[in-house]
């Protein structure tokens, strides 16, 4: 494989991800310190071209999560910046949203920022997320940076022009001010006095939420767990979509009789919650909760979600909250960009949110920020408490599907996976029409089939050579019936492995 091909392989949508630590069988290191230094130099070239400014005039912030490869890769990236003559700010352990905010805070106003993280992936992985004052970079931007990194040789410099900066101090003070302002209290107040809130940080970067936000604002945080950064993630994967992770925070809530539990992913751009009775607030419930919180301030607005949300969520948003539910393509950048597009076209859209826990608000720079979502949740909880109510009351009319399942149908034996997948989707649509199975329109991703029991959505994977099939049913046993019907429509496609549907 050529060096250019290696760099291209590091692209993961609008991020860079790779293997940074040896020791896992079958996973060779490809995100090396040398390549990270090259990527650092390429980011400078990219920013200079975009801004029309000299590289030496740029200011770039660098932060990282708790991964064991962070120190080496941060040093490599900083050397890549120094080789281009850039003034760098070393922000140390940070969250991804805080790194974007380095471009916003008056005290910093950086021209760009990078976060070393691979989100919830295993300990041997790492990656980079990039920001400018306009937000996160797009897929095409990442491709350009990697192309520059492969072609231009960066001579690493020293670290003489690197300054350490307490970004997280600025960021957490900002969040505390937002909470007090929302609750009409002075900045010196303790609005969470009498509230018991536990946090499960999964040994990622999210422990600050306890030490720098909840405790200073008066909350009892006894029973919080795994706050210490540990890049081996010894207790569970820091991922709100992971069943073991959600079970961990649920146990902490019930064991300590807490009012609320919060869980973050490794770099704190995602979150989910658990209510006092153990009810999990994730996926549909998280979307419904955030929409219910925002609805009074954004009446009749549009909520943008990914494509796999439930019909029951649509009913709650539209019939109970009188909002518009806009299902769009999966991928947090996709839903964020659609939310931005709607607002630019004068369609009010305050929230772009995925079932994964990525949620971005128009009032917060369209930034997917798990800590900001937690702030909105906590202020709503404090307001409900004043009225003698609980957060649960906000979504008490939300129904869930009786059954839900997902299958990943591999594509193999063909040189052009994307073209073959497109053909499968076209063929599925035609076969469904012939079988008189209704097709939901518009569909911004894949083909959604409507059945009396529920629905099925087949789409192309964002990154892998397979086709995810999501099925939901309003009645017990409905998924099996829908699965059988979909198998009959797909079984003729020889390069699509649909045996999982048998």
pLDDT tens-digit readout, 207-239: 999 999 999 999 999 999 999 999 999 999 999
Residue 3 has pLDDT above 90, yes or no: no
Contacts of 427 (CB under 8 A, 6+ apart): 492, 493
Q: Which helix (H) or strand (E) holds 287?
A: helix 284-294
With cut-offs at 50, 70 and 90, classify the pLDDT of residue 160: low
CA 498 – CA 494 distance, rounded (Å): 9
Pairing of strands 162-164, 135-136: unpaired
Cis preceding-peptide flag for 354 (omega within 30 of 0): no
- Residue 292 pLDDT exceeds 80: yes
**Dihedral angle sign, alpha carbons of residues 256, 257, 262, 263:** positive
Rg of the chain over Cα atoms, rounded to whole angstroms, equals 23
How many CA atoms lie within 13 Å of 7's alpha carbon, on the beta-carbon side?
23
In terms of pLDDT, which residue wins out, 217 or 415? 217
What structural domains and CATH numbers belong to the chain? 3-165 (3.40.120.10), 166-279 (3.40.120.10), 283-400 (3.40.120.10), 403-501 (3.30.310.50)
Return the minimum-mean-pLDDT range out of 160-164, 170-174, 417-421, 472-476.
160-164
Tokens 């994964």 sit on residue: 356
Rounded CA separation 295/320 (Å): 10
Contact 206, 264 (CB under 8 A): yes
C-alpha 162: how far from chain center: 29
Residue 484 has pLDDT above 90, yes or no: yes
Residue 436 has pLDDT above 90, yes or no: yes
The edge-to-edge listing of strands for the beta sheet with 280-281 is: 197-200, 260-264, 271-275, 280-281
Cis peptide before 348 (omega within 30 of 0): no
Per-residue pLDDT at 370 exceeds 80 = yes
Closest CA to 264 of 383, 405, 406, 375: 375
User: Sign of torsion, CA 149 152 155 159?
Assistant: negative
Higher per-residue confidence, 227 vs 83? 227
Tokens in use for 116?
């070393």
CA distance 147 to 5: 10
The confidence score (pLDDT) of residue 257 equals 98
Count helices and strands in the chain by DSSP H and E runs:
14, 21
**CB-neighbour burial class of residue 190 (10 A; exposed 0-12, middle 13-18, buried 19+):** middle
User: Region 324-353: what's the mean pLDDT?
Assistant: 96
CA distance 224 to 241: 19
Q: Average of pLDDT values for 193-214?
A: 98
How far is it between the farthest Cα atoms of the chain?
Answer: 69
Residue 106 pLDDT greater than 90, yes or no: yes
In this structure, are residues 457 and 418 in contact, taking their beta carbons and an 8 Å threshold?
no
User: Percentage of residues in the chain with pLDDT exceeding 90?
Assistant: 94
pLDDT of 87: 84
Tell me the three state secondary structure of residue 414: coil
Q: Is a pLDDT exceeding 90 seen at residue 158?
A: no
| pLDDT for residue 479 is more than 90 | yes
The pLDDT, as a whole number, for residue 303 is 98
Average confidence score pLDDT of the chain: 95
pLDDT digits (tens, 9 = 90+) for 32-48: 999 999 999 999 999 99
Tell me which DSSP letter residue 193 carries.
Answer: T
- The pLDDT score that the predictor gives to residue 4 is 83
Averaged pLDDT, 431-454: 95
Task: Catalogue the active-site residues.
Answer: 119
Q: To the nearest whole percent, how much of the chain has pLDDT over 70? A: 99
Which of 18, 97, 94 has its CA nearest to residue 62? 94
Sign of the dihedral through C-alpha 357, 117, 107, 215: positive
Residue 482 has pLDDT above 70, yes or no: yes
Q: pLDDT-based confidence at 463, cuts 50/70/90?
A: confident
Please check the confidence at residue 156 and state whether its pLDDT lies above 80. Answer: no
Global pTM reads 0.94
Average pLDDT of span 330-336 = 93
In sequence order, the 6+-apart residues with CB closer than 8 A to the CB of 335 are 304, 305, 306, 328, 329, 352, 353, 354, 358, 360
Higher pLDDT among residues 87 and 302, named by residue = 302
């Amino acid at each position: 494989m050529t060096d250019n091909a290696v760099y291209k392989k590091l692209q993961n949508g609008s991020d860079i991800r790779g293997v940074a630590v040896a020791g896992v069988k079958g996973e060779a290191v490809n995100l090396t310190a040398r390549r990270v230094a090259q990527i650092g130099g390429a980011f400078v070239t990219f920013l200079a071209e975009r801004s029309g400014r000299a590289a030496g005039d740029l200011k770039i912030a660098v932060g990282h999560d708790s991964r064991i490869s962070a120190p080496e890769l941060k040093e490599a990236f900083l050397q890549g910046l120094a080789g281009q003559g850039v003034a760098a700010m070393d922000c140390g352990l940070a969250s991804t949203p805080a790194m974007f905010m380095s471009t916003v805070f008056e005290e910093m106003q950086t021209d760009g920022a990078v976060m070393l993280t691979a989100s919830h992936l295993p300990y041997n992985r790492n990656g980079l997320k990039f920001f400018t004052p306009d937000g996160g970079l797009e897929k095409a931007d990442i491709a350009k940076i990697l192309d520059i990194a492969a072609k231009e040789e960066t001579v690493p410099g020293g670290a003489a022009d690197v300054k350490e900066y307490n970004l997280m101090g600025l960021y957490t003070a900002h969040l505390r001010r937002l909470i007090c302002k929302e609750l009409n209290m002075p900045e010196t107040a303790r609005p969470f006095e009498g509230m018991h809130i536990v946090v499960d940080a999964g040994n990622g970067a999210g422990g600050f939420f306890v030490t720098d936000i909840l405790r200073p604002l008066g909350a009892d945080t006894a029973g919080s767990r795994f706050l210490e950064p540990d890049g081996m993630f010894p207790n569970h994967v820091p991922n709100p979509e992971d069943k073991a992770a959600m079970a961990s925070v649920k146990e902490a809530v019930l064991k300590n009789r807490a009012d609320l539990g919060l869980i973050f992913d490794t770099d704190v751009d995602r979150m989910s919650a658990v209510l006092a009775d153990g009810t999990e607030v994730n996926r549909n419930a998280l979307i419904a909760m955030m929409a219910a919180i925002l609805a009074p301030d954004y009446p009749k607005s549009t909520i943008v979600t990914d494509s796999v949300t439930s019909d029951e969520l649509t009913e709650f948003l539209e019939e109970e909250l009188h909002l518009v539910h806009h299902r769009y393509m999966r991928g947090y950048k996709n839903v964020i960009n659609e939310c931005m597009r709607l607002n630019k076209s004068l369609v009010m859209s305050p929230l772009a949110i995925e079932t994964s826990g990525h949620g971005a608000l128009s009032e917060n720079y369209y930034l997917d920020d798990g800590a900001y979502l937690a702030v909105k949740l906590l202020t709503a909880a404090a307001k409900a408490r004043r009225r003698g109510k609980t957060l649960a009351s906000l979504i008490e009319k939300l129904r869930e599907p009786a059954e839900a399942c997902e299958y990943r149908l591999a594509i193999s034996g063909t040189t052009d996976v994307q073209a073959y997948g497109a053909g499968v989707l076209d063929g599925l649509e035609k076969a469904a029409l012939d079988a008189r199975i209704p097709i939901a329109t518009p569909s911004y991703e894949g083909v959604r089939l409507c059945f009396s029991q529920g629905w099925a959505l087949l789409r192309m994977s964002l990154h892998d050579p397979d086709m995810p099939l999501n099925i939901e049913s309003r009645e017990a046993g409905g998924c099996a019936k829908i699965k059988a019907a979909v198998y009959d429509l797909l079984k003729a496609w020889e390069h699509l492995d649909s045996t999982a549907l048998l």
